[in-house]
Structure 1
């Protein structure tokens, strides 16, 4: 009995660890597909289409009586969320093409910080400068930005690894010009993702059917991605996907990252809250760096290591301040992770994770 109770308590930790493994794997296979010549625009199109197909059945059957009528203002909001998705994806993929999965994962850690800054600008988040938690978030934000700048502009010597780390893949990692270009793309993706995060937190309050909202946003993102990609990728060969790594990347990113990951993260948020889920981001960066070095044989530089440590330090400062400010009601994991088959996968209004990354 005690073993079952311990396992029940460990479920959120196991789920979030598995989720970070999934994110790390996605970064690696996406990098391989991009190196093999897959268009980032086409990848964004296919990913949104797969995500739409995955979510649609759940939305149709589980939220049949929950979906509100789509008015013109709600349509405009869904249209905006759908537009932010392709923008986020395309800039992320371009940044990943010019840098590395490790660098992209480090920039991923800046999303909570960027979200906090945007929320402050639009007065969604309030700053109480005399209180400790607000000071921690402000200092943590500055530290994260400093870490990102350090990773961008300082390379340093190669950090020795116990396994071969010679870069045999065709990439642009040794070009400082491409590194800065990739960093700018990742920063743009970060801003877009954070904007999606903030805007979504506002939209979900007006459209409570979460799975239906995700489906509609992914559908809108698919149409908008096609409209963006057709003028760019006019040759039919750019759209061809066989039974290879490109197809695996499309299915994996659509099903695992957009579908399963969103579901698992939703369950964990219901138990531990959004701060708990965000706290696992640095673990994903560590896993990505190890897989990046072993599988892709990427060299890891001292500047990246030091910058990543600085970013993680600042991130936990922001998370500590957020944790002190927001007190979430406790929910036992048995209420959310059912022992038997259940339909408790409907996601509540607190789930403000970006939809398409």
Structure 2
């Protein structure tokens, strides 16, 4: 394996490791946020504190590392940043966690698997994703996206018998009462989650577009979080005007949710997503979302006593198959054609040897 192949493999491995790290980060947040919401955390102030934390962490890094490479701010870039700050930090976060408050962490992350499908369609329309319908790998990406969505629907709609895990058996009667209660608000929560996911997918698309004219990832992340915190503050001040206690900070799981989400899921996640998108595109980033659902399903059974049933396990298996198809299709996009027509590509060493022999033969003829 040559140096170029090693460098390419190293870059590819870093992209995969980074996107898997993101999914573990999002999965951890789903558990922490659900626990905090169960104890009365306001999702309005959550959006404010989350983005303020992210801005305070990332801004110094942006000032130090990108002071010589930061592009000039224009009206077009400023407007894009304001829209980015509205789409995910404000609209998505409030809708998504309102929906989670009505349902469960596992249900929310399962329904969040519509994000890859929405992102794929938007990227296809805007020509950010290479799709050649007649090619097998493009068909795999389309079919894999559909399979992933189908798996998410199986997890959402198919129940089946509970899988009696040893650490959840003693809480089964509590979960049954919770399930009956959440069933009343299931539709309302699902609509909010899907609407939030559409904003999240749109955020990824607009971020990929903005990075082309403003290729300073740390600076863009800090500006998005700053804009998001300002806009979220306006929304929270209106929504919680009669509840000043919602702004109180204590040493509890609410504070953990603010700090964890700000550092991991806004600051680091926005920046890493941008870095990965510059090389792989927005569809690659979102295609790994099903991983967080599987992680949350397992962690939720441990930490929140959420029951695992046959539908969730079956849906997770289907999602893994769809995810593999999408990854395979994306990988084939990067494989250059090894031959053109009927010509066989020769190794470079043989080509050089052939040129040398040809030159020697020419000298002898002279």
Specify if TM > 0.5: yes
1:242 partnered with 2:250: yes
Q: After alignment, is 311-320 or 57-66 more displaced? A: 311-320
Rounded to whole Å, the distance in 2 between the matches of 1:118 and 1:275 is 9
Q: Who is 1:68 aligned against?
A: 71
Q: Who is 1:346 aligned against?
A: none
Q: Who is 1:38 aligned against?
A: 41
Give CA-to-partner distance per residue, 1:95-122, whole Å, 9 cap, x none.
2222222223323444223211111233
Q: CA RMSD in A?
A: 3.1
Q: 1:238 to 1:195 in 2, by over 3 A?
A: same
Rounded to whole Å, the distance in 2 between the matches of 1:326 and 1:307 is 29
Q: Unpaired segments of 5 or more residues in structure 2? A: 1-5, 337-366
Q: 1:99 to 1:312 in 2, by over 3 A?
A: farther
Q: How far does residue 294 in structure 1 lie from its aligned partner after superposition?
A: 1.0
Q: TM-score w.r.t. structure 1 length?
A: 0.80
Q: Who is 2:210 aligned against?
A: 203
Contact 1:109 1:315 in 2 (8 A): no
Q: How far does residue 37 in structure 1 lie from its aligned partner after superposition?
A: 0.8
Give CA-to-partner distance per residue, 1:138-183, whole Å, 9 cap, x none.
2122222322333333323222213225265899543323223222
Q: How far does residue 268 in structure 1 lie from its aligned partner after superposition?
A: 7.4
Q: Unpaired segments of 5 or more residues in structure 1? A: 329-357
Q: How far does residue 17 in structure 1 lie from its aligned partner after superposition?
A: 5.4
Q: Who is 1:188 aligned against?
A: 195
Q: Who is 1:318 aligned against?
A: 326
Q: Which has the higher helix share?
A: 2
Q: 1:172 to 1:201 in 2, by over 3 A?
A: farther
Q: Who is 1:155 aligned against?
A: 159
Give CA-to-partner distance per residue, 1:35-80, whole Å, 9 cap, x none.
0011111101110111110111001111111222211111111111
Give CA-to-partner distance per residue, 1:238-261, whole Å, 9 cap, x none.
211211111111011111222344
Rounded to whole Å, the distance in 2 between the matches of 1:266 and 1:77 is 15
Rounded to whole Å, the distance in 2 between the matches of 1:184 and 1:246 is 25
Contact 1:159 1:301 in 2 (8 A): yes
Q: After alignment, is 141-150 or 285-294 more displaced? A: 141-150
1:22 corresponds, among 15, 21, 25, to: 25
Q: Who is 2:92 aligned against?
A: 88
